[in-house]
């Protein structure tokens, strides 16, 4: 199956308001382990779109305290994402993995809405997702 790599958000300005612009870290940005990346939704869902950002102390002094360098960001349907960096360390390049999110959707309520269908609603932002558990 093909993956569209040049798709952009429907409203680029609204996207920048929510996620920051191309020289700032996205919200709730944090480094994750390779194991957490391997268990992430990156391997379950195709990203809606990709973005390239350069983070440095000149453009984002606060963000540069967490990370400096080039990032590839993969955005998912629910406002979360995974970011990648190639970091030069110890004479070679190593991958680094990050997560970000408008909301981390941690506390969810669950409601059965049909045969094997459950709707999970985030109590923090009200994002709702219906999951078919029969698959």
> Would you tell me which residues interact with Zn ion (CB under 5 A)?
103, 105, 122, 124-125, 127
Whose Cβ is closer to Zn ion: residue 89's or residue 106's? Answer: 106
Rounded Cα distance, 4 and 99, in Å: 21
CB of 126 to Zn ion, least distance (A): 7
Whose Cβ is closer to Zn ion: residue 116's or residue 124's? Answer: 124
Three-class secondary structure of residue 14 per DSSP: helix
CB of 127 to Zn ion, least distance (A): 5
Whose Cβ is closer to Zn ion: residue 28's or residue 56's? Answer: 28
CB of 15 to Zn ion, least distance (A): 18
Whose Cβ is closer to Zn ion: residue 32's or residue 125's? Answer: 125
Structure-token pair, residue 95: 């991958």
> For 34, phi and psi rounded to 5 degrees?
-60, -35
Rounded Cα distance, 10 and 15, in Å: 8
49-55: strand order across its sheet: 30-32, 92-101, 80-89, 69-75, 49-55
CB of 26 to Zn ion, least distance (A): 15
Rounded Cα distance, 85 and 108, in Å: 30
């Amino acid at each position: 199956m093909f993956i569209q790599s040049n798709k952009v958000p429907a409203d680029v300005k609204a996207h920048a308001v929510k996620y920051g612009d191309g020289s700032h870290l996205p919200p709730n940005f944090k480094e994750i382990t390779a194991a957490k990346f391997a268990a992430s939704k990156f391997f379950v869902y195709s990203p809606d779109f990709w973005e390239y950002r350069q983070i440095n102390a000149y453009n984002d002094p606060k963000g540069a305290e967490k990370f400096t360098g080039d990032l590839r960001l993969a955005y998912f349907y629910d406002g979360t994402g995974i970011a990648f960096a190639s970091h030069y360390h110890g004479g070679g390049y190593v991958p680094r993995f990050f997560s970000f999110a408008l909301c981390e959707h941690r506390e969810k309520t669950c409601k059965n809405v049909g045969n094997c269908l459950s709707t999970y609603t985030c109590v923090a932002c009200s994002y709702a997702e219906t999951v078919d558990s029969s698959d």
